[in-house]
Amino acid sequence: MKPQILALLGSPLPEGNTAKLLKQAIAGAEKAGCEVTPIDVPSLEFSSCREMYYCKEQSSCIMEDDMGTMYPLLKNMDSLIIATPVMTMGIPGHLKSFMDRCQVFYCAKYERKAPLIPKEKRKTRKTLLLSISGMNLPNNFDGIKISTLAFCDILDCKLADELFIRDMDNKVDLDRFPDLLKEAYDKGFALGSALTGSS
């Protein structure tokens, strides 16, 4: 069975620049021999976390919505790709709510001291973070990175690589910058190669 990678799109634009980056990273990971499952997060139907803490006692959430199908994918994946734009200096709302709903993993790891991810898998799971920002400021990606580091920690899927692209308001369309798309492809290939041993 091929290594399984989950690819989260946080942008509400399925054909936008963030999606173009993700498409290239997915192609690279697939070339390395992995199977990639893309998830269009804004299209999922779920509520934000209500902090009911049912997950303190159970390995599931009391709310019944699309997140219920996401937990097994997050648990069983071998690695993760996250692609998101910067909005208000942070992660867009739907993707942030997706991350917040992973209290299921947080409570298992830190409340019950019984992580949902097997020990051997924790050693090899890695995350690739792709992000674009309209502006060109020195701290454009600070909020994105802090939240992603916390998310990766509770999922036992270490943040291993990143690609940050600034000044998209002037770049406009990443199709005009094949070198950046190639960099996303290469990073996806490297993530997949770490699982398959491809070169």
Cα→Cα distances 192→11, 28, 154, 155, 198, Å: 23, 7, 21, 18, 8
Using alpha carbons, select from 29, 18, 147, 17 the residue that is nearest to residue 77: 29
Full pLDDT tens readout for the chain, 199 residues: 899 999 999 999 999 999 999 999 999 999 999 999 999 999 999 999 998 888 888 888 999 999 999 999 999 999 999 999 999 999 999 999 999 999 999 999 999 999 999 999 999 999 999 999 999 999 999 999 999 999 999 999 999 999 999 999 999 999 999 999 999 999 999 999 999 998 7
The torsion defined by the Cα of 99, 25, 134 and 155, in degrees rounded to 10, comes to 20
Using alpha carbons, select from 79, 33, 36, 6 the residue that is nearest to residue 197: 33
Residue 46 tokens read as 């779920």
Q: Yes or no: say if 161 and 190 are a contact pair by the CB < 8 Å rule.
A: yes
Give the pLDDT of residue 56.
Answer: 86
d(C-alpha 5, C-alpha 34), whole Å: 7
- CB environment 139-166: b (16+ within 10 A), e (fewer): ebbebbbebbeebbebbbbbbbbbbebb
**101: Cα separation from own chain's centroid:** 14
Using alpha carbons, select from 197, 182, 196 the residue that is nearest to residue 5: 196
Residue 63 tokens read as 């709310």
Give the pLDDT of residue 97.
Answer: 98
Q: Yes or no: say if 5 and 29 are a contact pair by the CB < 8 Å rule.
A: yes
